[in-house]
């Protein structure tokens, strides 16, 4: 019981601290690297300032719903969630949930 109350919160704080330190520290310059150089968090937040290209493929929600209806059985356990963005595009996010269709009682 003490393990859950003491060690797990301590470990989570250490992992959060490590993630924060790594994401907010500039990496050593590498002339062979093709990707942008700098602080990873800044590159992620403002990629256009670092000359990064946007390779995102936007998929309409209707297309995702169509494919989901054709190939996924109701009640099938998935490891991703499809989220509708403000610009009507979708993106996948990691999460476990059960797919159900309207009208299914299961």
pLDDT, tens digit, 9 for 90 and up, residues 47-91 = 888 887 777 888 898 998 898 888 887 776 666 555 666 665 566
Residues 32, 6 within the same domain: yes
The per-residue pLDDT for range 23-55, each reduced to its tens digit, is 999 888 888 887 788 898 988 888 888 887 777
37 assigned to some structural domain? yes
22 assigned to some structural domain? yes
Q: Please write down the long-range contacts of 87-93, taking CB distance under 8 Å and 24 or more positions apart.
A: 87/58, 88/60, 88/61, 89/58, 89/59, 89/60, 90/58, 90/59, 90/60, 90/61, 90/64
Q: Does the reported pTM lie above 0.75?
A: no
55 assigned to some structural domain? no
Q: Report residue 5 CA to chain centroid gap.
A: 28
Domain encompassing residue 24: 2-50
Residues 8, 45 within the same domain: yes
Domain count, the chain: 2
Rounded Cα–Cα distance for residues 78 and 67 (Å): 14
φ, ψ of residue 16 in degrees (nearest 5): -65, -40
């Amino acid at each position: 019981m003490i393990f859950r109350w003491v060690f797990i919160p301590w470990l989570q704080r250490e992992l959060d601290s490590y993630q924060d330190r790594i994401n907010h520290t500039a990496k050593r310059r590498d002339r062979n690297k093709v990707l942008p150089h700098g602080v990873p968090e800044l590159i992620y937040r403002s990629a256009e300032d670092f000359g990064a290209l946007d390779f995102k493929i936007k998929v309409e929600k209707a297309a995702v719903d169509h494919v989901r209806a054709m190939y996924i059985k109701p009640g099938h356990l998935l490891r991703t969630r499809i989220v509708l963005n403000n610009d009507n595009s979708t993106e996948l996010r990691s999460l476990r949930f059960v797919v159900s269709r309207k009208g299914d009682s299961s």
